Amino acid sequence: MMGLVSPRSRTAPSREEKKAQTRARLLDAAAVVFAKKGFAGASLDDVADEAGLTKGAVYSNFANKTDLIRVLLDLHLGVRSDAIPGEVDPHLPQPEQAARAGELFMAMLTEERESYLLELEFLLYLARNPDERNPTNYLARRRAIADIMQQRADEDGYTLPLPAEDLATAVFALGAGIALERLVNPAHVPDDLFGRMLAVIFGVAGDQPGKPGSDKR
């Protein structure tokens, strides 16, 4: 998100700018390192090294390791998959929307295995530290998806098989479960499984095996 080039950019960067930059580098490095080794398994030296800095830089920008984890958590959780509904053309027929959404999700999993590892680490952390303020915008995200699903169902004149919010929860859960399985056994999960399941769930399950003669439109 670099906007207009400020006059500053010809000058030496200000202290504030440099500090913000350092902080960002540390957070990026932490995301990489924590995904790879876990919160407990990764050291602050690992993080600093990955960022090309020293541990002192970490302590100059964060109170301690836990604080770093919390800030990172606020920054990352759930960001991954929020963009998908907006990228699916709502004018396509429903089964193709399902297939397309499934495809996008699977592509994301493949490209950003690391993000998902980090997210799992976050979820475990939250599950083990329930006192921790839960920064999930989970309910807002779920409502957003639920609204989209309801709206498209209304427009296209079909009925959702479950209340929209519950369906949204289930779809998230299915995605998370598929992601998890893929993380451990990539070969066991076909690429189009998520899309096909979406089609089944939304009740427009195209052709079924053993049922010849079903026509695509």
Partner DNA sequence: TGTACATCAGTGAACGCGCGTTCACTGATGTAC
Quick one: which of 7, 210, 212, 213 contacts its own copies (CB under 8 A)? Answer: 210
Residues 188 and 15: their CA atoms lie apart, in Å, by 51
Nearest distance in Å: CB 118, DNA: 16
**By the rule CB under 8 A, 36 interacts with its own copies:** yes
What is the per-residue binding string for its own copies in 40-69, x denoting contact by CB under 8 A?
xx----------------------------
Torsion on CA atoms 41, 174, 164, 209, rounded to nearest 10: 170
| b/e burial code for range 12-33 (CB count within 10 A of at least 16 → b) | eeeeeeeeeebbebbbebbbbb
Q: Which residues bind DNA (CB under 7 A)?
A: 12-16, 18-19, 21-23, 42-46, 48, 53-61, 64-66
**By the rule CB under 8 A, 216 interacts with its own copies:** no
Sequence-distant (≥ 6) Cβ neighbours of residue 163 within 8 angstroms: none
Nearer to DNA, 64 or 110 (CB): 64
Quick one: which of 127, 214, 215, 217 contacts its own copies (CB under 8 A)? Answer: 127
10-18, 34-42, 68-76, 144-152 -> range binding its own copies (CB under 8 A): 34-42
Residues 69 and 212: their CA atoms lie apart, in Å, by 54
Q: How far apart are the first and last CA of the chain?
A: 42
Nearest distance in Å: CB 61, DNA: 5
**By the rule CB under 8 A, 1 interacts with its own copies:** no
Contact partner, 31, from its own copies, DNA, none, Cβ < 5-8 Å per class: none
Output the CA torsion sign for 142, 148, 149, 151. positive
Residues 77 and 136: their CA atoms lie apart, in Å, by 6
**By the rule CB under 8 A, 176 interacts with its own copies:** yes
DSSP string, 90-138: TTS-HHHHHHHHHHHHHHHHHHTHHHHHHHHHHHHHHHH-TTS-----H
The SS3 assignment for 118 reads helix
Nearest distance in Å: CB 173, its own copies: 3
What is the per-residue binding string for its own copies in 152-171, x denoting contact by CB under 8 A?
-----xxxxxxx--x--xx-
Nearer to DNA, 59 or 172 (CB): 59
